[in-house]
Amino acid sequence: MNSQFSEAQLQEVKRLTSRYPEGRQKSALIPVLHLAQNTFGGWLSKEVMDYVAGLLSIKPIEVYEVASFYTMFNLQPVGKHLLEVCQTGPCMLNGSESIIDYIYEKLGIRPGETTADGLFTLKTVECLGACGYAPMLQLGEHYREHLTKEKIDALIESCKSNRANA
């Protein structure tokens, strides 16, 4: 896999780092990691994280620490549809554990696993900031709220027919 940004992406990195004082380019790490994840297949390999470290003139461990801390970054390949189920207090109290179990029943994957066809990955994440709509999950940029088995069935079918984010 090519692990280098295009010229336009390098200009974006330059724009992001220019927001911060000289010597503080590490402050742009999170947006640069988002750019890298979006560019290189939806996840951050060691090679990609090392590349980002070089661009920002920081140590690779500094990148690994941030990428492994935040659940928004994927450190292994993910399926076409990433189902990120909130597992914090309000969602757990409102049934997110049963939603995770139901997804396992439907797709045969546990958190951190991807279906054999590469279509779905299940991931548990920390608070997504929609406690009043629990249980919920994020699929791409979209929240799915007040989840039920029926809503999960419809979401899975929608993903399979490629209408999930329409």
Q: Which residue ranges make up each domain of the chain?
A: 7-69, 81-160
Q: Which CATH number fits domain 7-69: 1.10.10, 1.10.1740, 1.20.140, 1.10.1410?
A: 1.10.10
Predicted confidence band at 24 (pLDDT cuts at 50, 70, 90)?
Answer: very high
More reliable by pLDDT, 46 or 140: 46
Give residue 164's pLDDT: 54
Q: Which residue has the tokens 């279509």?
A: 119
Task: Annotate 71-108 with DSSP letters as a single string.
Answer: TTS-SS---SEEEEEE-SHHHHHTTHHHHHHHHHHHH-
More reliable by pLDDT, 166 or 41: 41
Residue percentage of the chain with pLDDT more than 90: 87
More reliable by pLDDT, 166 or 6: 6
Q: With 0.75 as the threshold, say if the pTM is over it.
A: yes
Structure tokens belonging to residue 102: 């139901």
Long-range contacts of 13-22, Cβ-Cβ distance < 8 Å, separation of 24 or more: 13/55, 17/56
Average per-residue pLDDT for the chain? 93
Q: Does domain 81-160 have CATH number 2.40.440.10?
A: no
Flag whether pLDDT at 126 surpasses 60.
Answer: yes
* Nearest in space to 152 (alpha carbons), one of 99, 84, 88: 99
Is the distance from CB of 11 to CB of 58 less than 8 angstroms?
no
* Nearest in space to 82 (alpha carbons), one of 31, 43, 24: 43
